[in-house]
A and B are shown apart, each in its own frame.
Chain A
Amino acid sequence: MTQFIQLTVYGLANGAILALAALGFVLVYKATRVINFAQGEFLLAGAYAFYSGWVLLGLPLIAALLFGVAVAVGLGVAIERFSLRPLIGEDPIAVIMVTVGLSAVLKATVQLFYGTTPLTMPKVLPAGSISLAGAHVPLDRVVAVAVAALVLSAFSAFFRWSRHGVAMRAVADDQQAALMQGISVTRIFALAWALGAVSALIGGILLADISELSQNLAGFGLIVFPVVILGGLESIPGTIVGGIVIGLVSQYAEGFSPGASQVAPYLLLVLILLLKPHGLFGQPRIARV
């Protein structure tokens, strides 16, 4: 029982961070139809940008966060402008491979500047642990869940009520109709990439804090795929459900047999693809000649 509670908290914390990473992924996919294989590297770049601001430049926490956000926004906008806009209308494979190329470049850049050894970063989240129904639960993971929940609600509110959020939904629905309403689609594309990078930044900082700051953070990017397939590639609530389910499933699998957390999400992914190819909240599209 105590192990179950511990696994649940770990799973929820991982799931919350996965949901943040998946949110960035879905934002980009929804607005621009780009499958971003560099999402894990966005987490990596975000975490290292924050580290540079906080530790290397010695900025206060809030300023370091803002610095990280600025880097993430710049990165997102630059990537959209210079590598993906020229490919609008190309094959899915071309778009996928550009993001794969980007992931290699981002990872290499981080390695060039910071080396391959894991770096130590002072704790952002509270250290220590609390006792929950007899199980010792690390406090940082609990706070990570809360932070992720807060950020995800902020994003949802943004899409629901703000002008830009509504414009993004309009572009995702029908680009031509959105253009006719006077929405600048190119600006929405840039916004989607910027927001995607920012949500990855937050996920990256949380992840670096509860584990460690190293190149391995990028590996988290691959587990985003089961999450978004489960939730549906176009659904923001889907990322939350998907993140939590995948987070929990992989932790329970890990508890069942050590190492199984690497494969359980993918087994679930295959199952979902076979039963419900568009995910729980995705939109099936009808193809015509």
Chain B
Amino acid sequence: MPSTATGIYHTSYGSELRLRHTHAEKIRLGILVVALAVLPFTLDNYWLSIVNSIGIAAIGAVGLNILVGFTGQISMGQGGFLAVGAFTSALLSSRAGLPVPLSIAAAVMLTASVGVVVGLPALRLRGLYLAIATLASQQIIEFVIRRWRWLTGGQGFLDVPRLRLVGLEIPRAHFELTWYAIILALATLAVLGARNVFRTALGRSFMAVRDHEIAAATMGVHVTRAKLTAFALSSGYVGLAGALTAHYTETVTWERFTIDISVQYLAMIIVGGLGSVAGSVYGAAFLMLLPPVLAELATAVRDKAPFLSEQLPAVQQAAFGLVIILFLLFEPRGLDRSWRRAREYFACWPFRY
């Protein structure tokens, strides 16, 4: 399809529904694939582990964005859902002896069902009230995990055995690299899955509910079904992210699933762009990179400003807060919008519009 400064012209419905419309997009996709293939060989283990956490976070962020960005249901319960996914998969694989792929699948299913239960109040509550209801679910799930001693065998954390691939344990030397491949594959599937959902009637009904619930209902959208499916789909994604965290980090503790994590994921989709699948990935990358990059900077200027490295946790937290505020004030549609704007600038160059 020809792409011009004034838009893309379609001559059939099929072409409009396509995921990628122009040659430029296909070329960019090619570059991205090559970059992702080369990336792990250019990084050391420390940065590769950060890339891996970005991949897991991206899956969770896409899930949260389905709920918040596409369906308009604010959720502060992300941490709780992650915990359900992580604990389910960890328990099923280590204690019940289920193969890891099966236990991850079970974790996804269970988290999706918990999501539906938590989503039930959404049928009566909206906006602020729903945010607070999901906050309650977060606190309750966290409490259950902390208090239920059987869950962790009384030691407060769960050890997850090293992942076995075709019967063999992943060797230490290739640990990050193998996980990079696994996470990249799953994250790609997750992103493509989400992109495709929003081409279907179901995905469109999510957006209709977000834009105006009553208007959507009068047009024949089944609001109840749309909301509950959105909760199920979204928490399924989050459950996958949780399960991956469990097997990747090999320990599960409740500390990793507090309200701060819920907030961090919300920040990811705000920074990346609400209602944008690609934005969720940008946001996850941005917020997961922020603390290590700040730490690097603090080390680099240690001699000139020792204050920065001594107060690093506070500085990181302040930066986190400022990033959220500044994005909301100056780029409320997030990095996705910045990227589009940059693209348009070059498409129209040398004109400003």
Inter-chain contact A225/B318, CB cutoff 8 Å: no
The secondary-structure label for the interface of chain B is helix
The answer to whether B328 and A101 have CB atoms under 8 Å apart is yes
Point out the residue from A97, A107, A226, A273 that lies within 8 Å of B328, measured CB to CB.
A97
On whether the beta carbons of B140 and A229 are closer than 8 Å, the reply is no
Closest partner residue, chain A, to B324 (CB atom): A101
Q: Does A127 contact B (CB under 8 A)?
A: no
B312 to chain A, nearest CB (A): 11
Q: Is B68 an interface residue (CB 8 A)?
A: yes
- Is the CB of A138 closer than 8 A to any CB of chain B? no
* Chain B positions 120-152 with a Cβ under 8 Å from a chain A Cβ: 121, 124-125, 127-129, 131-133, 135-137, 139-140, 143, 146-147
- Give the residues in chain A near B323, CB-CB below 8 Å: 101
A266 in complex: contacting residue of B74, B128, B139, B328, CB < 8 Å: B139
Closest residue of chain A to B132 (Cβ to Cβ) is A225
Bound Cα distance from A135 to B324, whole angstroms:
49
Tell me if A98 counts as interface (CB < 8 A to partner B): yes
* B352 proximity list for chain A (CB < 8 A): none
B129, B132, B328: the one contacting A87 at CB < 8 Å is B328
| Known contacts A35-B128, A92-B131, A100-B266, A108 near B314 by CB under 8 Å | yes
Smallest distance from the beta carbon of A15 to chain B beta carbons, Å? 19
Question: For residues 211 through 261 of chain B, which have their beta carbon under 8 Å from a beta carbon of chain A?
Answer: 212-215, 218, 259
| A interface secondary structure, majority | helix
With contacts A269-B132, A270-B140, A289-B212 taken as known, whether A104 is within 8 angstroms of B321 at the C-beta atoms is yes
Known: A101-B321, A273-B133, A289-B215. A263 touches B314 (CB 8 A): no
Q: Would you list which residues of chain B between 152 and 173 have a CB under 8 Å from chain A?
A: none
In the complex where A96-B74, A105-B321 touch, is A266 in contact with B140 (Cβ < 8 A)? yes
* B291 in contact (CB, < 8 A): no
The answer to whether A273 and B129 have CB atoms under 8 Å apart is yes
Q: Are A288 and B214 in contact (CB under 8 A)?
A: yes
Contact present for B274 and A269 (CB under 8 Å):
no
* Contact status B136-A269, CB under 8 Å: yes
In the complex, what distance in Å separates the CA atom of A102 from the CA atom of B137? Answer: 23
A selection of 5 A-B contacts at a CB cut-off of 8 Å is: A87-B328, A91-B274, A225-B136, A270-B121, A270-B140
Residue numbers of A with Cβ under 8 A of B are 35, 83, 86-87, 90-94, 96-98, 100-109, 111-112, 222, 225-226, 229, 233, 259, 262-263, 266-267, 269-270, 273-274, 277-278, 287-289
